[in-house]
A and B are shown apart, each in its own frame.
Chain A
């Protein structure tokens, strides 16, 4: 049976980490609900692993406070926190058998051999590794090792499971499969999961909420839909998913929409930041929100272009279209109608499709 400790909530208040003169994490306030699947998404070096180390206890905040389950964690080491960490490289103990790995935490708590062996085999059954207990980690496959790491962390019945890009070493198929399993496990156990990743696909599919980080700051916290459809900054817009940029200047504002003038024409789009007319801004547009306009068809926004290339990707195809506002990427669901002749065409998009944000650092700048 699956251990059922209830998850605990996590609160960072003003927590910051400095290494010498380098500010790894700026003062951060963050609340993670008990039993939530929470992802921290960001490029490498953005400070997400540092936050994980704050939670696991390998690092103390330079200022501010970390609370888990309402209890301040200052002075409490990794071994005494209600957390368990799954490492990016898993960090299985290579000289111990699979079941000894799983039972390690119990061994440290003084369980007798027979009892902890029985418990380890129970846990191995939960992660579908029956019969693998007496092998060495080197003798099982990557996906199986992954499960051993999960079972090892679950053995100590943590209230919070911290995962540091644990799927990054797996191949694509296995990764997708493990995503589903992790999500299932989280729902079954009710443990709070904090999942660190630079892979937006992982973050979007599994999480209840996602925090996007850049340069030591959390720039947006929200559901997968929020982060994808309603990005708060240019960085979030470009880091999560594919994005077309159309830089321009705000022409007029009407309610929560604004009209932005770009070299390719002027377009109506949501203006969540309430930017005033005259402001330099960028219209961000998802490739799948752009569609081809047939003859006589109209849309709230239209832009003329010229098809450069079509990449067939299976379920959809990607069109690269040259326009006066720059090169745009368009994604079309594959209807089976085959290719498109190269040449002039007209693209359209709804006035709710894009988002106008102040120009700022984008993921491409950061990389």
Chain B
């Protein structure tokens, strides 16, 4: 704080602190805290609701008795005595009715109860979808890596810089189009009557139900998130000294040995960043599986979360689902860092 003030002056330092605080609170803490809070409670029938309803029943019985008393009172001898008795009974009835109304509201108004039970709400079917989503996202990540690594290496190390810039530009251009439109385009390509099946038909294969089998989701996801894998890989590979590759070759390394011992170890931070981003985006993807399967294949987990919120209107369970996904993703981040022996500092670079 003192250092900041000395370097930038008081107004600038205050602004920096304010902006950083807003960032930390608003962009990092608030959404997570709200989602976790939401997942930790539910609206419940109040404690002792059963006793209350017995009590209410008893009061209703009293009310019925009073009605009988009232009917009996009409047959009293003196009109004045009747008047008095009726007034007394009516007052008692009014008091009873008020008490009943109070108790009934108390019985009906739910109370906010802190509980972990939202997390236990995931049934067998949903758990299976959860596991499938995680595994599928891992597969998408692996495919994206397998596709991107050779591309990134070729651009970074084999092409002259000017051509590398052109290729990178060509890679970015599709991303100028909205993600939904790109996914729809792939939906049309892979459709039963789409161009790919038409082409396959010409060679006597087909028609293949890409979309119904769920493989379309893979294709579209790899396509949708490939850039998040290519760029970190390219960036890190570009910093690899070409002399190291040549030195390894000069010392007798074959191509696969060069990659295993020199290039891949160097690329670790980029691999970690690319895998984490691709995995997170795939695991949390809603639109891609939604569009690509059109409901014909089992949903992805993000769709379940959506349904909890907006169809079952159960925000607390929805929040619990969302937090579970977040936990697994965070776990994945740390697993990748551990596996690739990458520290946070390397990733930040």
Interface residues of A (CB under 8 A from B): 56-58, 77-80, 83-85, 87-89, 91, 93, 95-96, 104-105, 107-109, 152-153, 155-156
* Distance A67 CA – B249 CA, assembled complex (angstroms): 20
The answer to whether A85 touches B247 (Cβ under 8 A) is yes
The answer to whether A109 touches B252 (Cβ under 8 A) is yes
A107 and chain B: residue at smallest CB distance? B261
**Residues of chain B from 224 to 255 with CB closer than 8 A to chain A in the complex:** 241, 243-244, 246-254
B247 CB contacts on chain A under 8 angstroms: 85, 87, 91, 93
Q: Chain A nearest CB: distance from B349 CB in Å?
A: 15
Q: 18 A-B Cβ contacts within 8 A?
A: A58-B246, A58-B250, A79-B253, A80-B252, A85-B246, A87-B243, A87-B246, A88-B243, A91-B246, A104-B248, A104-B251, A104-B253, A104-B261, A105-B251, A107-B261, A109-B252, A152-B251, A155-B251
The answer to whether A79 touches B244 (Cβ under 8 A) is no
* Distance A96 CA – B252 CA, assembled complex (angstroms): 17
The answer to whether A93 touches B253 (Cβ under 8 A) is no
Please name 16 further chain A to chain B contacts, defined as beta carbons within 8 Å, in addition to the given A83-B250, A85-B246, sorted by A numbering. Answer: A56-B250, A78-B250, A79-B252, A79-B254, A84-B250, A85-B250, A87-B247, A88-B243, A91-B243, A91-B246, A93-B244, A104-B248, A108-B251, A108-B253, A156-B251, A156-B252
Count residues of B near A (Cβ-Cβ below 8 Å). 17
Closest 8 CB pairs of A and B: A91-B243, A105-B251, A91-B247, A108-B252, A79-B252, A78-B250, A85-B250, A108-B253
A84 and chain B: residue at smallest CB distance? B250
Q: Chain A nearest CB: distance from B339 CB in Å?
A: 16
* Distance A247 CA – B261 CA, assembled complex (angstroms): 59
A80 CB contacts on chain B under 8 angstroms: 252
Task: Tell me which of A57, A83, A88, A91 contacts B244 (CB under 8 A).
Answer: A91
B174 at the interface (CB under 8 A from A): no
B253 and chain A: residue at smallest CB distance? A108
**Residues of chain B from 291 to 311 with CB closer than 8 A to chain A in the complex:** none
B257 at the interface (CB under 8 A from A): yes
* Distance A104 CA – B253 CA, assembled complex (angstroms): 9
B246 and chain A: residue at smallest CB distance? A58
The answer to whether A84 touches B266 (Cβ under 8 A) is no
B262 at the interface (CB under 8 A from A): yes
* Distance A152 CA – B253 CA, assembled complex (angstroms): 13
B265 at the interface (CB under 8 A from A): yes
A105 CB contacts on chain B under 8 angstroms: 251-252
B254 CB contacts on chain A under 8 angstroms: 79, 108
A91 CB contacts on chain B under 8 angstroms: 241, 243-244, 246-247
B246 CB contacts on chain A under 8 angstroms: 58, 78, 85, 87, 91
Q: Chain A nearest CB: distance from B30 CB in Å?
A: 40
A84 CB contacts on chain B under 8 angstroms: 250-251
Task: Tell me which of B243, B251, B265, B266 contacts A79 (CB under 8 A).
Answer: B251
Which of B241, B244, B251, B254 counts the most A-chain CB atoms under 10 A from its CB?
B251
B266 CB contacts on chain A under 8 angstroms: 95
A56 and chain B: residue at smallest CB distance? B250
B243 CB contacts on chain A under 8 angstroms: 87-89, 91
A57 and chain B: residue at smallest CB distance? B250
A85 CB contacts on chain B under 8 angstroms: 246-247, 250
A81 and chain B: residue at smallest CB distance? B250
B255 and chain A: residue at smallest CB distance? A79
Q: Chain B nearest CB: distance from A23 CB in Å?
A: 20
* Distance A111 CA – B103 CA, assembled complex (angstroms): 86
A105 and chain B: residue at smallest CB distance? B251
A58 CB contacts on chain B under 8 angstroms: 246, 249-250
CB-CB under 8 A for A79 and B261, given A89-B241, A91-B243, A91-B244: no
B253 CB contacts on chain A under 8 angstroms: 79, 104, 108
B261 CB contacts on chain A under 8 angstroms: 93, 96, 104, 107
A104 CB contacts on chain B under 8 angstroms: 248, 251, 253, 261
B265 CB contacts on chain A under 8 angstroms: 95
Q: Chain A nearest CB: distance from B254 CB in Å?
A: 7
Q: Chain B nearest CB: distance from A98 CB in Å?
A: 15
Q: Chain A nearest CB: distance from B161 CB in Å?
A: 16
CB-CB under 8 A for A79 and B249, given A87-B243, A89-B241, A89-B243: yes
A56 CB contacts on chain B under 8 angstroms: 250
A53 and chain B: residue at smallest CB distance? B246
* Distance A80 CA – B257 CA, assembled complex (angstroms): 15
Q: Chain B nearest CB: distance from A20 CB in Å?
A: 12
* Distance A149 CA – B251 CA, assembled complex (angstroms): 11
Q: Chain A nearest CB: distance from B101 CB in Å?
A: 77
* Distance A104 CA – B241 CA, assembled complex (angstroms): 17
B244 CB contacts on chain A under 8 angstroms: 91, 93
CB-CB under 8 A for A93 and B252, given A78-B246, A87-B246, A87-B247: no
A155 CB contacts on chain B under 8 angstroms: 251
Q: Chain A nearest CB: distance from B273 CB in Å?
A: 18
Q: Chain A nearest CB: distance from B36 CB in Å?
A: 39
* Distance A89 CA – B247 CA, assembled complex (angstroms): 11
**Residues of chain B from 242 to 284 with CB closer than 8 A to chain A in the complex:** 243-244, 246-254, 257, 261-262, 265-266
Which of A87, A93, A109 counts the most B-chain CB atoms under 10 A from its CB?
A93
A164 and chain B: residue at smallest CB distance? B243
Which of A91, A95, A107 counts the most B-chain CB atoms under 10 A from its CB?
A91
* Distance A58 CA – B245 CA, assembled complex (angstroms): 11
The answer to whether B250 touches A79 (Cβ under 8 A) is yes
* Distance A107 CA – B257 CA, assembled complex (angstroms): 10
* Distance A95 CA – B252 CA, assembled complex (angstroms): 19
* Distance A89 CA – B262 CA, assembled complex (angstroms): 16
Q: Chain B nearest CB: distance from A166 CB in Å?
A: 12
Q: Chain A nearest CB: distance from B263 CB in Å?
A: 11
A57 CB contacts on chain B under 8 angstroms: 250
A93 CB contacts on chain B under 8 angstroms: 244, 247-248, 261-262
* Distance A96 CA – B49 CA, assembled complex (angstroms): 69
* Distance A96 CA – B244 CA, assembled complex (angstroms): 12
A77 CB contacts on chain B under 8 angstroms: 249
